[in-house]
Structure 1
Amino acid sequence: MSKNNSLELGKLSEQLQMIASAVDDVAQVYQGDAIALLSLLRQLEQLHRDIRDGVFQESLPDNRQKLYSLLKDIESEGGWPYIGRMRLQAFLANFPPEATEEDSKQTNSDEVLDSDRSHKC
């Protein structure tokens, strides 16, 4: 690795750390505000998509040697970047059991009321 390339990687690493710190700061400011944090996650996902579909694809290797180097880096550095979404079951696991029981009781009572209304018509 050349000295110039090493300097560029150091600069990139520093910039990435600043971005990560800024995102973490925003997340901490809005801790407890699910709507704001969801907005942050959506923005990060959109940035990921924009970079992947834009400048990353334009930067893909045009020969075997560069492609091999890229694939080797992907393999050695942890694979392909992916932004996963929370599964609904994991999302619902955050609710206390009382809340889900109350919701269930409310749904059942609403169904009974709707059923009574339909029989009276």
Structure 2
Amino acid sequence: MGQEIEHPDLSAIAALVHTTAQSYQGKSSELLALLRLLEALHQGIRDDLFQKSLPDNRQALYALLRDIETEGGWPYIHRMKLQSFLSNLLTEPEGELPDSE
């Protein structure tokens, strides 16, 4: 699953997301819906909760920045480049359309 998670609540959420993703293996529409949900959650937490919780003094801000730096950087949801997404089409035999789900 990647990075070690110290908070039990977050570990449970990560396990549920991972299990759900595994159950959607081979189902691109369902996986895309899961990715969209995760992106929306990320944006909502960042915009509605995280920004409001930012420190209002220099020392606390410095401590937060040090934590971000030492614990893995800023959270970011990477989007596939269109070229990578379309590379699957290049492997299809000419004249055939991929199965739609």
Instruction: Give the TM bin, normalised by the shorter chain.
Output: 0.7 to 0.9
Task: Determine which of 79, 91, 95 is the counterpart of 1:102.
Answer: 95
Residues 77-104 of structure 1: CA deviation (Å, up to 9, x unaligned): 11111001111111122345234x326x
Residues 55-114 of structure 1: CA deviation (Å, up to 9, x unaligned): 101110011110000010111111111001111111122345234x326xxxxxxxxxxx
Q: Which residue of 1 aligns with 2:9?
A: 15
Q: Which residue of 2 aligns with 1:113?
A: none
**Does residue 1:80 correspond to 2:77, yes or no?**
no
Please state how far the C-alpha of 1:47 moved relative to its aligned partner.
Answer: 0.1
**Matching residue's letter, 1:37:** L
Q: Which has the larger radius of gyration?
A: 1
Using structure 2 for the length normalisation, give the TM-score.
0.82
| Identical positions, percent | 58
Runs (4 or more) in structure 1 with deviation over 3 Å come to: none
Q: Which residue of 1 aligns with 2:36?
A: 42
Alignment length (residue pairs): 92
Larger RCO (CA within 8 A; separation ≥ 6): 2
**Matching residue's letter, 2:83:** Q
Q: Which residue of 1 aligns with 2:84?
A: 90
Q: Which residue of 1 aligns with 2:99?
A: none
Structure 1: 5+ residue stretches without partners: 1-9, 104-121
